[in-house]
Structure 1
Amino acid sequence: MHRRLITRTAASAIAAATLGCSGLIGAATAGATSQDDQFTEVVSALGITVESPEQAVKLGHDVCTLLTQGGAQGPNPVPVVRGVVGRLTNAGMTKGQAANVMRAAVKIYCPEFGSIVGR
């Protein structure tokens, strides 16, 4: 019984955090004029430091490249998605930042992966 309560509480917290971050991505992209501006705004809103807007744009395109090269549209995309998040966390992002950067990159630059990375 106690374990179920902990699991439900953790699941609720994760769901709330994900919904909050989804709103952040949507709000950051609402006023931007181009895909690159949208992604740069999301990166900034997430508190991720990049050297320039061009570096932010490169980050977004790199995420899409990693998903493509990893075979994310194959029968088991989970390891590919985890690998992308792992690479981003190894580069200094928190796990939450990494997941949200990946979601934003997919939403803005490679929507064909939308069904595998969630909303």
Structure 2
Amino acid sequence: MGRKLLVGVVGAVLELAAIILAAPSGADTAEDRQFLTTLKSIGWEIHDPTLLLSQAHMVCNEGLAHGVSIQEMRSQLTNWGYSSRDASTLIDSAIRVYCPKFAAIEDRPPLSLSYQAGVDSGFSMQHEALAHGGAPLTRSEAVTTCDMFMRNADKLPFLYWSGGRIPHSDLDTADYHDGCMAGIKDAGGG
């Protein structure tokens, strides 16, 4: 009788293990693949997709669904080592893929293309200066630099950045300037 019970228990354990192993992993969903592909397409190197997917799901399921603000989530992600720029990108991408119903939240940071282009410009400029032995920009120098970028943007029909191009007629100069300042700060300046 003891042997039959043992065989029955082992069989049940094996069945349960087969069910667990047959269940799709988190990265096997279409949304997870879309999320990872989106980040890879903008240059993210993904070393731990499981952790990244967990954090993206956290944005929607533990964050926005329970009233946590975008700012609080961005703060938590920066505490975990993300730059403000990357935290905003992770949050924005998670919302677009996993919980688009939260896309219109009022306290959401300006993540327009103009803002993203500004972040890209400011970050690149400060990063290059530091890479070549320059000192971090002061806040005053950052404002002057971002103002200069903004003024010169209207001399071209398009503003080109790592995410593509923005026709000058579609450029929101206030968002661009704010993004430029954030990019400089993320790279260690202003």
TM norm. shorter chain > 0.5: yes
Higher gyration radius (CA): 2
1:37 counterpart = 2:52: no
Q: Could you tell me which runs of 5 or more consecutive residues in structure 1 were left unpaired when the two chains were aligned.
A: 1-32, 73-79
Task: Return the TM-score normalized by structure 2.
Answer: 0.37
* Matched-pair contact (CA < 8 Å) for 1:48–1:93: no
Correspondences of 1:52-71 after superposition (within 5 Å): 53-64=49-60, 65-69=62-66, 71=67
Correspondences of 1:1-119 after superposition (within 5 Å): 34-44=30-40, 45-47=42-44, 49-51=46-48, 53-64=49-60, 65-69=62-66, 71=67, 80-116=69-105, 117=108
Aligned partner letter, 2:84? K
Higher share of residues assigned helix? 1
**Shift in Å at residue 36 of structure 1?**
0.3
Q: Deviations over 1:5-53 (max 9, x none)?
A: xxxxxxxxxxxxxxxxxxxxxxxxxxxx8210111223444536542x2
Q: CA RMSD in A?
A: 2.2
> Using the alignment, how far apart are the partners of 1:42 and 1:56 within structure 2?
13
Q: Could you tell me which runs of 5 or more consecutive residues in structure 2 were left unpaired when the two chains were aligned.
A: 1-28, 112-190
> Using the alignment, how far apart are the partners of 1:113 and 1:35 within structure 2?
16
Alignment partner, residue 4 of structure 1: none
**Shift in Å at residue 62 of structure 1?**
0.6
Q: Deviations over 1:35-87 (max 9, x none)?
A: 10111223444536542x22222111011121122x15xxxxxxx11101100
Task: Return the TM-score normalized by structure 1.
Answer: 0.56
* Matched-pair contact (CA < 8 Å) for 1:85–1:95: yes
Higher share of residues assigned strand? 2
> Using the alignment, how far apart are the partners of 1:35 and 1:96 within structure 2?
22
Could you tell me the percent identity over the aligned residues? Answer: 27
User: How many residues end up aligned between the 2 structures?
Assistant: 78
